[in-house]
Structure 1
Amino acid sequence: MYTVDAVEQRVIGVIADLTRDWDVEIEGGMTSDTTMVGDVDFASIDFIQMAVAIESEFKTKLGFQDLLMQGGKYVDDVTVRQIAEFVAGRLNNGVPAAPASPAVGETQRVTSVPEAQRVTAAMLDSFRGRFPVRDLHDDGTPKNERAVFVLSPPRSGSTLLRILLAGNSRLFAPPELHLLPYRTMAERRKALTRPHTDHLLEGVARALMQLNGWDAARALAFVADCEQQGMTTKAFYRELQAPLQGERLLVDKTPWYIVDVDILKRIDRDFVDPLYIHLVRHPLGMVRSYEESSMQRLLPPSAAQDGGIGSRELAELTWLLAQQNTLEISKQVPAGRWLQVQYEDLVVEPEAVLRRVCDFIGIPYESAMANPYDDMDRRMTDGVASASRMSGDLKFHLHNAINPDAAVRWKRFYSEDVLGSPTRELAAALGY
């Protein structure tokens, strides 16, 4: 049996390690009554990193969503003691009580917004201008072998789909690679070496660790050598595909590829008959998830400019930009290499959707695919150094099963009337 006091000391150690480099001083040190938001200044992403770190400490899945989310939204705050009681209860196979400080009252459903806050075509044109023109000319080498690309904006379920696909022995689906927007590995390093984006560099190293059985130091050293040599990203893809020996297909799911049509054009230019999975989610489902996850902290630098745009509008603009760019590319791809999948179907009927995907790719369906929390090392749900550095949706770590309620939970918070007319029209064209 785990005692709450013993668990609490280990929880305090985890939180102290997580916040070691933060400019936070707690008079008298961390105690049972220390609150994560009020005293330690946690944001939602920090709760997720804490959950991952605690699960790593105790080497078991705990299902932190039952502690951190009440009534469809995050709790306002939680104390060290409440965390310890929850963890001890789960470790002892109990069902802990809900936290004592749930979010106050029900969130009022937003049914309308002022016209000035509605996304328009002019706002989208301005948003497009935030993204830099890139030099993505071909390096003149032959095309790489076939690969599978998942195209979707962030907060659309691509991490879940990626992890489900990684459960198939014929696929290699690593964390986000962030390769296509850059011509060389050195350019990639320069662009992503910033606060809140430097972890995006690690997906390629984690892939190399899995492919070659390397430790983190060797994988990172190999990537650094590629950067120093001026290796092109096209050539780096070959480094990832070579160990697969044609027996497995590489899957690249990196949501930010969708910000620029020129990035997406590289796929057919650089790969032999690549396959595309267009993952779509209702725009307000993405908006709500975007807001909950403090995504502004994780945006590429060019997109994160404030510009007086609220988080809801920013999320909607990202959805709209992504879908317009993706549909433009779809017109240039033969129908047999393009599959559209709805996130809502994926979380409600995962096996049926995965069977469709496997038929599309031309591989057998494997039953292990439908349980994303089995064999997590193979599915690469951790980062190079820790799970909390995984390049992708860290909220994956809050759960211990696919949640079908995620398909419609946004309806508690928003009416479709808040969307701008360009978004509503495109959503209808996509089947919503």
Structure 2
Amino acid sequence: MIGPAEIDAAALSLAWIADAAAFAAPHPILGEEIEMAVVLKAGAQPQTALETTLTATRDALRPLLGYGRMPARIHVVQAVPRTPGGKLQRHLLAEQFSALPRAHAAPAADRAALAWPERPVARWVAGVWASVLDLAVMGADEDFFQSGGSSLQAAQAAALVQSRFPDQMLYVSSVYEAPTPDQQADFLSEHYPEITARILGETLRPDGGLTTLGEADQMRFAGLVRNPLGPHIAGKRLNPPAVFILSPPRSGSTLLRAMMAGHGALFAPPELYLLSHADLTAWRAWYGRAHASQLEGLPRAFMGATGCSADEAQAIVSEMERDNLSTADVYLRLQTAIGERLLVDKTPFYGVHPSVLTSAEATFERPIYIHLSRHPYGMIRSFDQARLGQLWWPRLTGPDGDPASPFASRQLAELIWTHIHANTVAFLEGVPAERQIHVRYEDLVRDPEAAARRLCATLGLAFDPAMLDPLADPSGRMTDGLRAGSRMIGDPKFHSHSAIDPRAADQWKTAYDQDFLSSRAGALANALGHTERVDDADERVEFDV
């Protein structure tokens, strides 16, 4: 979501670049990708060192733009075309270079001399990536992006790996975090041991069990979590009312959002991640290049609000980023675009920090809160299956934190569940009862109409039967991706369902052999009405031998 002007500015910040223009060039597979034309300053480098100059340019731009926004090809030109009035003519560059044969962007190594990785998993990864990048061979230490890969090809590579293992959920951020076959092999071994075992033809030994979390673990977790929101300064005026769904991840918030998006008086876009940041500069910086795809909810919201295209929506967001709008102003612009409809913001991250929750009261007039809870074992099981730790831990610790979580996936899920619910319960104690409602996921899937009617009553709306068909009209409910073929923001398996399934409430009951909740999580679960435990689950069948 960066405009060509920002890419131009990054190039012009380099001492040897006199002029620059980024442009969208046609691509036979991706449709289009970013390329750039540059004019070198006189005497900056002799012509014989042109390839060295281009390599230095790529190396200097990468930390400024991130892998996902890097031009796939950089062309040296005598002049950048402009109109007599000085306006860039990017389309002429696209026409000029579209007919050139596509050379790989990282030709420094002699490809004929390269060998496939020796490690079996790295070799397997290299084979998949080479097919995406159209390479004859890919070495163990070759960088995906320096080998010509684009952000869309990274998504294609992740999707191709997942297609081989459809029961796993692999995210595009994995390619950014581990961009060489050797690094990706280590990443899979750490985060996806099942995939690693199946590549090697081995049987994964079951987890031998984890100790119950104690107070020291919870204190350690709280100490590592960073707050992305500085001291909140209330604006001169409050934004119109809005609705916030407060829940941990994997608690049914995507389902609830899709149901609410079917109501004609509501506007429920994917995760916005706005409330947790003071302005759009902080919003962008917190997630970094590897997790930038998580911010596609905002342009998708403007697509839904205005009926514009993905490119036009991204241009709207890019303009707001250039102006560094406060998040309150971004909310107001979105609320203005949706007219009389009531905005519903579903972003599980908000509950991590009490200051973020209280900022809603300082930003909106009489906001309404939906506290959505799911049985902790149900949330933990779903979080673990979706491998959400690799997305949530960097989100919790911020761009300067250690990207490696010290907690096992199951432990991290329980810590997040406990932390968010404790914050939410404490916050809602200070909110008038008429502006809050508690909804249990289990009630939502077992009797969705009753839950929807309760919600409508709290919001002062008539019940809309369309709420009961959340899988209908993906475009209208914004349960599609920003672009054709891209993943939706939220539950990546949402469209694998055919209807609201009441059986989802009890799937955790066959997942665990014994109770492991900490005393704090157990007490909080009881207070929220989730009193059943593994030992007394009805679906468990035990035999005396």
Change over 3 Å in CA distance of 1:26–1:242 after alignment to 2: closer
What residue number does 1:178 align with? 273
Paired residue for 2:342, among 249, 267, 272?
Answer: 249
What residue number does 1:204 align with? 298
Change over 3 Å in CA distance of 1:38–1:156 after alignment to 2: closer
Paired residue for 2:483, among 374, 385, 393?
Answer: 385
Quick one: distance in 2 between partners of 1:169 and 1:367?
A: 10
Q: Report the 3-state secondary structure (helix = DSSP H, G, I; strand = E; otherwise coil) of the residue aligned with 2:274.
A: coil
Paired residue for 1:404, among 489, 499, 502?
Answer: 502
Q: Say whether the 8 Å CA contact 1:151–1:254 is kept in structure 2.
A: yes
Q: Say whether the 8 Å CA contact 2:393–2:404 is kept in structure 1.
A: no
Quick one: distance in 1 between partners of 2:292 and 2:235?
A: 29
1:276-328 per-residue CA deviation (whole Å, 9 max, x = no partner) reads 00000000000000011010122151537445311111000000001100011
Quick one: distance in 2 between partners of 1:386 and 1:366?
A: 29
Quick one: distance in 2 between partners of 1:166 and 1:361?
A: 14
What residue number does 2:313 align with? 219
Quick one: distance in 2 between partners of 1:368 and 1:237?
A: 26
Quick one: distance in 1 between partners of 2:346 and 2:335?
A: 15
Change over 3 Å in CA distance of 1:420–1:27 after alignment to 2: closer
1:124-135 equivalence runs, <5 A = 124-133=218-227, 134-135=229-230
Quick one: distance in 1 between partners of 2:262 and 2:130?
A: 47
Q: Which amino acid aligns with 1:119?
A: L
Change over 3 Å in CA distance of 1:364–1:413 after alignment to 2: same
Q: Say whether the 8 Å CA contact 2:306–2:337 is kept in structure 1.
A: yes
Question: Whose radius of gyration is greater, 1 or 2?
Answer: 2
Quick one: distance in 1 between partners of 2:419 and 2:130?
A: 49
1:346-425 equivalence runs, <5 A = 346-386=444-484, 388-414=486-512, 417-425=515-523
Change over 3 Å in CA distance of 1:224–1:403 after alignment to 2: same
1:337-356 per-residue CA deviation (whole Å, 9 max, x = no partner) reads 01000000111111110011
What residue number does 1:154 align with? 249
Question: Which stretch of the first structure deviates more once superposed, 377-386 or 133-142?
Answer: 133-142
Quick one: distance in 1 between partners of 2:425 and 2:512?
A: 26
Q: Report the 3-state secondary structure (helix = DSSP H, G, I; strand = E; otherwise coil) of the residue aligned with 1:129.
A: helix
Paired residue for 1:265, among 351, 358, 374?
Answer: 358
Q: Say whether the 8 Å CA contact 1:26–1:39 is kept in structure 2.
A: no
Q: Which amino acid aligns with 1:271?
A: F
Q: Say whether the 8 Å CA contact 1:149–1:253 is kept in structure 2.
A: yes
What residue number does 2:168 align with? 44
Q: Say whether the 8 Å CA contact 2:271–2:490 is kept in structure 1.
A: yes
Q: Say whether the 8 Å CA contact 2:245–2:345 is kept in structure 1.
A: yes
Using structure 2 for the length normalisation, give the TM-score: 0.60
Q: Say whether the 8 Å CA contact 1:36–1:42 is kept in structure 2.
A: no
What residue number does 2:410 align with? 312
Q: Report the 3-state secondary structure (helix = DSSP H, G, I; strand = E; otherwise coil) of the residue aligned with 2:126.
A: coil
Quick one: distance in 1 between partners of 2:458 and 2:514?
A: 32
Question: Which stretch of the first structure deviates more once superposed, 386-395 or 154-163?
Answer: 386-395
Q: Which amino acid aligns with 1:291?
A: D
1:1-400 equivalence runs, <5 A = 24-25=126-127, 44-46=168-170, 113=209, 117-133=211-227, 134-138=229-233, 140-195=235-290, 197-245=291-339, 247-301=340-394, 303=396, 305-386=403-484, 388-400=486-498
Using structure 1 for the length normalisation, give the TM-score: 0.75
Quick one: distance in 1 between partners of 2:512 and 2:462?
A: 40
Change over 3 Å in CA distance of 1:416–1:216 after alignment to 2: same
Q: Say whether the 8 Å CA contact 2:226–2:396 is kept in structure 1.
A: no
Q: Say whether the 8 Å CA contact 2:268–2:343 is kept in structure 1.
A: yes
User: Shift of the alpha carbon at 1:229?
Assistant: 0.8
Q: How large is the Cα RMSD of the aligned pairs?
A: 3.2
1:200-223 per-residue CA deviation (whole Å, 9 max, x = no partner) reads 211110010111111111111111
Quick one: distance in 1 between partners of 2:395 and 2:307?
A: 36
Q: Report the 3-state secondary structure (helix = DSSP H, G, I; strand = E; otherwise coil) of the residue aligned with 2:396.
A: coil
Q: Report the 3-state secondary structure (helix = DSSP H, G, I; strand = E; otherwise coil) of the residue aligned with 1:394.
A: coil
Q: Say whether the 8 Å CA contact 1:164–1:370 is kept in structure 2.
A: yes
Unmatched tracts of structure 2, length 5 or more: 1-28, 31-103, 105-123, 133-158, 173-193, 398-402, 531-545
Q: Report the 3-state secondary structure (helix = DSSP H, G, I; strand = E; otherwise coil) of the residue aligned with 1:206.
A: helix
Q: Say whether the 8 Å CA contact 2:369–2:435 is kept in structure 1.
A: yes
Q: Report the 3-state secondary structure (helix = DSSP H, G, I; strand = E; otherwise coil) of the residue aligned with 1:44.
A: coil
What residue number does 2:52 align with? none
Q: Say whether the 8 Å CA contact 1:348–1:407 is kept in structure 2.
A: yes
Quick one: distance in 2 between partners of 1:135 and 1:38?
A: 38
Change over 3 Å in CA distance of 1:320–1:47 after alignment to 2: closer
Q: Report the 3-state secondary structure (helix = DSSP H, G, I; strand = E; otherwise coil) of the residue aligned with 1:291.
A: helix
Q: Report the 3-state secondary structure (helix = DSSP H, G, I; strand = E; otherwise coil) of the residue aligned with 1:181.
A: coil
Quick one: distance in 1 between partners of 2:248 and 2:344?
A: 16
Q: Which amino acid aligns with 1:262?
A: S
